[in-house]
Structure 1
Amino acid sequence: MTEATFELEKIIGQSLQSAFIDQTRYSSEIHRPQLIVNGEGKQVLPSLLEELINCKAFYISVAFITEGGLSMLKTALLDLDKKGIRGRILTSTYLGFNNPKVFKELLKLRNVDVRLTSISGFHAKGYVFKKENYISLLVGSSNLTETAMKKNYEWNIKFTSLENGELVQSFNNQYEKLWDEAVELSTSWIHKYEEVYNLQLQQKNQMKSFDMSCNQNDREILPNKMQSKALEQIEALRKKGAKRGLIVSATGTGKTFLSAFEVRNVQPEKLLFIVHREQILKKAQQDFKDILGGEDSEYGILSGTSKEIKARYLFATIQSLSKDETLNSFAKEHFDYIIVDEVHRAGASSYTKTIDYFTPDFILGMTATPERTDDFSVYKLFDYNIAYEIRLQEALEEDMLCPFHYFGVTDYEIDGKMIDEGTTIQDLVKDERVNHIINKLEYYGYSGDVLRGLVFCSSKKEARELAISFEERGIASASLTGEDSQAEREIQIGRLENGEISYIFTVDIFNEGIDIPKVNQIIMLRQTQSSIIFIQQLGRGLRKHKSKEYVAIIDFIGNYKNNYLIPIALSGDQTLNKDNTKKNTAETNYIKGISVVNFEEIAKQRIFESIKNTNLSSMKNLRDAYKNLESKVGRKPSLLDFMKYDSVDPQVIIDSKKTYPLFLEAIKEPTISPKNYANEVLFMLSMELLNGKRIHEIVLLKALINNETLTQKKFVDRLRSMGEKHDVATIKSVERFLNYSFFVSNDYKKYGNQPLVNLIDGEYQLNDHFKRLLVEESFKTEVLNVIEVAVMKNQKYDRTPLTIHEKYSRKDICRLLNWENDESGTINGYRLKHKTLPIFITYHKDEELTSSVHYADELLTPELLKWYTKSQRTLDSKEVKNIIDAEAQNVDLHVFIKKEGAEGTDFFYLGTGLIDKNTVIQELVTNNDNKTLPIVTMNIKLKNMVEDSIYHYLKIN
């Protein structure tokens, strides 16, 4: 038995003991048996993907497979194929569940062998992954379906075993026996199965049709959960006397139906429904008829081709309605109720003129994207009355939209160079790229029997030429641009809906205002210009339809500067915080419902590169965010408003301009900027406390600012009641921080040259100068805003000094570990203090550094870190001995890591670690001057697993 195998056997043994004998015993989280359900704790899909992407081979046994379930693994399987890693899938035809199309999809997997077992009642569900030295298994209730992967309540046990384990051997024997007896999946087999399947399906449908005892058309259409809530809030607005209200609702969530339900409730004498395109009118009119009923004569259309203006319910295009002769033909009070669809367009003069003209009892505006890049405020137009708001993530969670499977795929490389902004049209439409596109589209596929795709291109010429190229390859396609007439658009849309063509290639004109529910594939062949447009285009496929279970979004990611917008758009995260954006690229579990987001490995690298090279917090981005928030709240936003309304992370604003008043000055917004000492105090609070990393100082300051008398004893009692640490060292640390004795001299001067809080006769007191400043209301408001942001930010931190996987600067660490002073400038080494010893690691070191400091620190697993000391350190060096003997000396070894030096001052906290003494080795390295220097390497066992998003982010090149 090798040493590695012996060590692994010990680790697995410990894991089994903690799982089956005593849960308090320490064991490796990776190898510890886990119950995996969808809900609290780990979901099935990410657990499965984590095992899959790190395996050397895999063996899957499932009775049921759906297209959606299989598509969730396709990106990972493709990346494994590129590494030469193969696997098997054993499945069946049990109960006729598996659609013939899913078998066709299985045949596309080049690195997966598939066989069909004929064993009666086959219902096995197991996933086996072969690793370097062990086997990982996930066995339980989950078939390979999208609901089992993300939605259903499942019970699965995940555990690890050495290859000689009895359970693993039993599983292997069973699998091999079934595999040998099973039939290989082939095209001819699928043809035979399809005949039987279709016959059985036909019989089922006949029975289903026979059993239906009521006519669907006779059933009353009722509002869904979201619509019911929205109707209540609109009614509440009207009862308050409001004349206008705004509905912000993701594309596909039924805004038109919602407005029809509202009209059914209100029963206006005359209704006006305004749209910007004629093709929307008839659909909207029909939706209202379905819900309101009534005679056809009650419904009319006002457009370029119809003038049915006497109707009770009038559906009008803004182009026709806003003409002076048409508008003036109506009395101002003619309509009781007006609904404006896609109201984010209302900044145009045609809209403002029309809305200002009429005086109805109520105007309802509806939009999916109220945010604007100009200075027009949709919110202001509707008196800041947001009746209801539901964004993409919430709509997915409420199952109001068709789920989407997003695939971020790698675009074509031309002579080793990936497609980018400078790529010529000749290269964009060359045969090799067209073939690359078609291969990706065929691999990732679509849901349903008939392909209906929208392709968003970068230019009119690209759209036209790609459509021609697809046609030449036998894929029926058309192109539509702004140059095509409305009639031509309707013809081609009809052809797509009827299945006469598979694709429409377009540029921008389908971003909004188009409703093709049958669309089951969205292809993006252009760089992402804005997160708003990205969501608009993705939204073209989110309408539910019985012909599809999900829509495939296939995004070709080249080497574009704006790639960073992709995770921002998908997550809806508007913080402009780079850490959040990186995390939302590496870990995509934020997508709700059974939707999924997957990036091919190279595509993911392109996004990380874009994030790295982009200044997310540019003054333009910050000013745009400020203006959007201002238009939403109807006043000058406070720093706290950015937090309340899920806008820019206030920390990003402070990092850019030190204080909020200075930020307002920078974007040329009127403000009263604190001067001299007031500015210095605000500077200190913003830079040091706004991050909320420790609540103690915040609690104390807030109490004193609100004129509470707070003794040291009362402060300790309050912390105790809050469940916060209140030991002597922590209290002293808080006091040293607020009396500034913690800070270095430069900070002491920058922050006002005098203690902010003094402890006098056991009572905490603000300094007199600070107390006098707080009389000025504007200054006090700014201070309290910083404190309230800090309170909100503190919610993500544990009640321990340091929270696993959060980020900290060296100064933060000195403070939170209760060191007397800020020693951040001198703890690049390994400083032992108060039984704490922090280690700082830059994972990818700058290539320009000399070889004497360029060592290959490596996360071997999420729990094991191979680490190198600085050069010129030996086993006899005092600081190395301190590290090796940390556990024996009862010293806490704290491990901090960042990906590279350019990431700034903050490090991810990986928790405490233990040195594996069996791995401690002294080596020699040669520096750039050819001098041989000693160095020590060792493995650090982390007590906590590195979370998936950080682990993959650090590991990716």
Structure 2
Amino acid sequence: MYQLREYQTNLIAQIIKSMHSGHRHIIVQSPPRTGKTVVMAEIARRTTLKNNRVMFIIHRKEVLEQAELTFKKQDVNLNLATMGMVQTLTRKVDKLPIPNLILIDEGHHALAKSYQNILNKFSKTFVLFFTATPVRTGRLQLDQVADDIILGQSIKELTENGYLAPFRYFESPNDFDASKLKRSSTGDYTNKSMDEAMSSTIYGHIVKQYQRIAQGMQAVVYTYSIESAINVAKEFNEAGIAAAEVDGKTEASSRDRIVKQFRKQELRVLVNVNLFTEGIDLPNVDCVIMARPTTSLALYLQFSMRCLNPRPGKTAIIIDHANNFQKFGYPDDDRDWKQAIITQDKGKHKATTENTVQIVQCDYCFAVIRPSAVKDGKCPYCGNPVKVIIPKRVADIDLIEARRNKIDEIINDNVMQNVADKKPNELHSMKELKAYAKLHDYKPGWVYFQGKMKGLIKK
């Protein structure tokens, strides 16, 4: 069985409390990479332990297979569990046993007709909608199907406590013409428009920026089409960097072989077309390269957070060739999910409490930098003068103000200056760890975790 983490146990406790308060359809928000499937498996175990039936719904075969293994390992009574893809379950909904609890993975899809067919059939059943991003691209939001929302720990808190790796974010110069992008009926950009918008030089730029910023790291590249993925993999291989391309048409045996090679580090780069997003287990990724734009916050977070699995001393690298940062900000920005689930009246724009502040981008190394990390007007990563300012929208203006006020403190703190351009694996004392945490607004829990891993704290 899996040993649940503290934040996972707390999440289950909140769910139980909400149910006891009379809520029956509950959104459970928790960031990517936080083990939502394990939480669902534990809830399913407790449900079947009481001889109650549970139904698990997902929309992708690969994720279903992985979830079935997780449920089995967690000692769920599978005789009392119905697990399947929504496409399958909705076709035979009249023949399904009545569940006491329905668990929906990636619950932001739940307004689709296939899900609604199942939910309408079992209208009196408790339903938990698990999702990292409880927001849809259309007008109708999840308040149409849910009566409560539970918020898990934020990405910042999870990073501070060592459950996610810290990261550095680089936004590469424009490799595409955004004016050519057009949306499809799903709300995201069409493949044709992305192909027209992308410059052919992007393939070489991707390799060049990887070599400059993340050389030697295990990297996953997200592209928008099979042709573009093949081109990117070709450029890496021609540069002497072992890479392979996988997509939805790749045979299962070939894909499994390629993933195993990547896990064994026989391949350095895995280029894919929308495969390694929701739920797929790929633990040893240290770098993510986004070579496609998106209008979907859910997709952006799945892309950018793929590399945040923690390891002592690790700092992940995110390279953005598609200006997704300018649309969505940092992966760990605070977001008002309670407001996000509310459907607005027709003709009205969605209300927002966001405020425009400034984020710094280095014109030399293209790092996107929090203002608190700027020292003497220089980039903390390459030491060159900072030239470019990007307007950015964030949810918490007070937090940004607090960071701005730290600039004077950073300048006057020698230790903080010394660690500004270092990575966590280059910190060798508790004093340096504390200064680094102060610089990046990490909580004491991060210092303790790193100190323990480095042997600076006796167990």
TM > 0.5 between the two? yes
- Cα distance, 1:248 vs. partner? 0.3
Distance 1:365 1:399 in 2: 26
Select 2:202's aligned residue among 397, 422, 428.
428
Asked if structure 2 preserves the Cα contact closer than 8 Å seen for 1:460 and 1:507, the reply is yes
Q: Aligned to 2:201, what secondary structure does the other structure show?
A: helix
Select 1:292's aligned residue among 54, 65, 75.
75
Distance 2:163 2:405 in 1: 34
Q: Which residue of 2 aligns with 1:263?
A: 44
- Cα distance, 1:233 vs. partner? 1.5
What is the 5 A alignment of 1:689-704?
Answer: none
Q: Which residue of 2 aligns with 1:419?
A: 175
Q: Which residue of 1 aligns with 2:234?
A: 468
Q: Aligned to 1:281, what secondary structure does the other structure show?
A: helix
Distance 1:281 1:488 in 2: 19
Asked if structure 2 preserves the Cα contact closer than 8 Å seen for 1:564 and 1:581, the reply is no
* Residue type of the alignment partner of 2:167: H
Asked if structure 1 preserves the Cα contact closer than 8 Å seen for 2:166 and 2:314, the reply is yes
* Residue type of the alignment partner of 1:395: L
- 1:180-203, CA deviations, whole angstroms, 9 ceiling, x for partnerless residues? xxxxxxxxxxxxxxxxxxxxxxxx
Q: Which residue of 2 aligns with 1:252?
A: 33
* TM value normalised by structure 1: 0.34
Q: Does 1:276 align with 2:59?
A: yes
* Distance of aligned partners of 1:499 and 1:521 in 2 relative to their CA distance in 1, 3 Å threshold: same
Distance 1:475 1:585 in 2: 26
What is the 5 A alignment of 1:267-346?
Answer: 267=49, 268-292=51-75, 298-299=77-78, 311-323=79-91, 326-331=92-97, 334-346=98-110
* Distance of aligned partners of 1:259 and 1:603 in 2 relative to their CA distance in 1, 3 Å threshold: farther
* Distance of aligned partners of 1:589 and 1:488 in 2 relative to their CA distance in 1, 3 Å threshold: farther
- 1:748-775, CA deviations, whole angstroms, 9 ceiling, x for partnerless residues? xxxxxxxxxxxxxxxxxxxxxxxxxxxx
* Distance of aligned partners of 1:599 and 1:246 in 2 relative to their CA distance in 1, 3 Å threshold: farther
* TM value normalised by structure 2: 0.67
Q: Which residue of 2 aligns with 1:115?
A: none
Distance 1:603 1:531 in 2: 32
Higher relative contact order (CA 8 A, sep 6+): 2
Q: Aligned to 1:429, what secondary structure does the other structure show?
A: helix
Q: Which residue of 2 aligns with 1:587?
A: 370
Distance 1:238 1:380 in 2: 18
- 1:104-128, CA deviations, whole angstroms, 9 ceiling, x for partnerless residues? xxxxxxxxxxxxxxxxxxxxxxxxx
Q: Which residue of 1 aligns with 2:211?
A: 439
Q: CA RMSD in A?
A: 4.0
Q: Which residue of 1 aligns with 2:333?
A: 571
* Distance of aligned partners of 1:796 and 1:504 in 2 relative to their CA distance in 1, 3 Å threshold: closer
Distance 1:498 1:388 in 2: 36
- Cα distance, 1:530 vs. partner? 5.3
- Cα distance, 1:541 vs. partner? 2.3
Asked if structure 1 preserves the Cα contact closer than 8 Å seen for 2:171 and 2:325, the reply is no
Asked if structure 2 preserves the Cα contact closer than 8 Å seen for 1:477 and 1:503, the reply is yes
* Distance of aligned partners of 1:489 and 1:374 in 2 relative to their CA distance in 1, 3 Å threshold: farther
Q: Aligned to 1:510, what secondary structure does the other structure show?
A: coil
Q: Does 1:400 align with 2:183?
A: no
Q: Which residue of 2 aligns with 1:236?
A: 17
* Residue type of the alignment partner of 1:223: L
- 1:400-446, CA deviations, whole angstroms, 9 ceiling, x for partnerless residues? 23x133241645xxxxxx6342775432235xx36523522554x43
Distance 2:400 2:251 in 1: 54
What is the 5 A alignment of 1:835-850?
Answer: none
Q: Which residue of 2 aligns with 1:499?
A: 265
Select 2:154's aligned residue among 370, 378, 391.
391
* Distance of aligned partners of 1:494 and 1:381 in 2 relative to their CA distance in 1, 3 Å threshold: farther
* Distance of aligned partners of 1:568 and 1:252 in 2 relative to their CA distance in 1, 3 Å threshold: closer
- 1:445-483, CA deviations, whole angstroms, 9 ceiling, x for partnerless residues? 43xxxxx32112355433211112222333322223445
- Cα distance, 1:376 vs. partner? 3.0
* Residue type of the alignment partner of 1:237: S
Asked if structure 1 preserves the Cα contact closer than 8 Å seen for 2:169 and 2:368, the reply is no
- Cα distance, 1:537 vs. partner? 0.7
* Distance of aligned partners of 1:576 and 1:240 in 2 relative to their CA distance in 1, 3 Å threshold: closer
- Cα distance, 1:556 vs. partner? 4.5
Q: Aligned to 1:571, what secondary structure does the other structure show?
A: coil
Distance 2:207 2:125 in 1: 58
* Distance of aligned partners of 1:479 and 1:240 in 2 relative to their CA distance in 1, 3 Å threshold: same
Q: Which residue of 2 aligns with 1:363?
A: 127
Q: Which residue of 2 aligns with 1:511?
A: 277
- Cα distance, 1:588 vs. partner? 5.9
* Residue type of the alignment partner of 1:358: F
Q: Aligned to 1:250, what secondary structure does the other structure show?
A: coil
Asked if structure 2 preserves the Cα contact closer than 8 Å seen for 1:496 and 1:503, the reply is yes
Distance 2:167 2:380 in 1: 8
Distance 1:459 1:605 in 2: 34
Distance 2:254 2:80 in 1: 31
- Cα distance, 1:350 vs. partner? 0.8
- Cα distance, 1:536 vs. partner? 1.5
* Distance of aligned partners of 1:313 and 1:601 in 2 relative to their CA distance in 1, 3 Å threshold: farther
Distance 2:257 2:248 in 1: 15
Q: Aligned to 1:262, what secondary structure does the other structure show?
A: helix
Distance 1:269 1:501 in 2: 45
Gaps of 5+ in 1: 1-219, 300-310, 412-417, 447-451, 591-596, 617-645, 650-792, 799-803, 807-858, 864-947, 950-957
What is the 5 A alignment of 1:836-875?
Answer: none
Asked if structure 2 preserves the Cα contact closer than 8 Å seen for 1:407 and 1:554, the reply is yes
State the identity %: 22
Asked if structure 1 preserves the Cα contact closer than 8 Å seen for 2:263 and 2:284, the reply is yes
* Residue type of the alignment partner of 2:201: D
Asked if structure 1 preserves the Cα contact closer than 8 Å seen for 2:207 and 2:235, the reply is no
- Cα distance, 1:512 vs. partner? 2.2
What is the 5 A alignment of 1:533-548?
Answer: 533-544=299-310
Distance 1:436 1:470 in 2: 9
* Distance of aligned partners of 1:371 and 1:556 in 2 relative to their CA distance in 1, 3 Å threshold: closer
* Distance of aligned partners of 1:399 and 1:421 in 2 relative to their CA distance in 1, 3 Å threshold: same
- Cα distance, 1:344 vs. partner? 0.8
- Cα distance, 1:247 vs. partner? 1.0
Distance 1:346 1:604 in 2: 44
Distance 1:429 1:579 in 2: 32
Q: Does 1:354 align with 2:118?
A: yes
Distance 1:580 1:530 in 2: 23
Q: Aligned to 1:356, what secondary structure does the other structure show?
A: helix
- 1:916-948, CA deviations, whole angstroms, 9 ceiling, x for partnerless residues? xxxxxxxxxxxxxxxxxxxxxxxxxxxxxxxx9
Distance 1:377 1:345 in 2: 10
- 1:629-664, CA deviations, whole angstroms, 9 ceiling, x for partnerless residues? xxxxxxxxxxxxxxxxx9587xxxxxxxxxxxxxxx
Asked if structure 1 preserves the Cα contact closer than 8 Å seen for 2:207 and 2:236, the reply is no
* Distance of aligned partners of 1:605 and 1:533 in 2 relative to their CA distance in 1, 3 Å threshold: farther
Q: Aligned to 2:127, what secondary structure does the other structure show?
A: strand
* Residue type of the alignment partner of 1:278: K
Q: Which residue of 1 aligns with 2:7?
A: 226
- Cα distance, 1:322 vs. partner? 1.1
- Cα distance, 1:269 vs. partner? 2.5
* Residue type of the alignment partner of 1:474: G
Distance 1:484 1:340 in 2: 27
Distance 2:401 2:318 in 1: 37
* Distance of aligned partners of 1:274 and 1:577 in 2 relative to their CA distance in 1, 3 Å threshold: same
- 1:50-70, CA deviations, whole angstroms, 9 ceiling, x for partnerless residues? xxxxxxxxxxxxxxxxxxxxx
- 1:488-544, CA deviations, whole angstroms, 9 ceiling, x for partnerless residues? 544433332343422221233433232211223222334565554332212222345
What is the 5 A alignment of 1:151-230?
Answer: 221-230=2-11
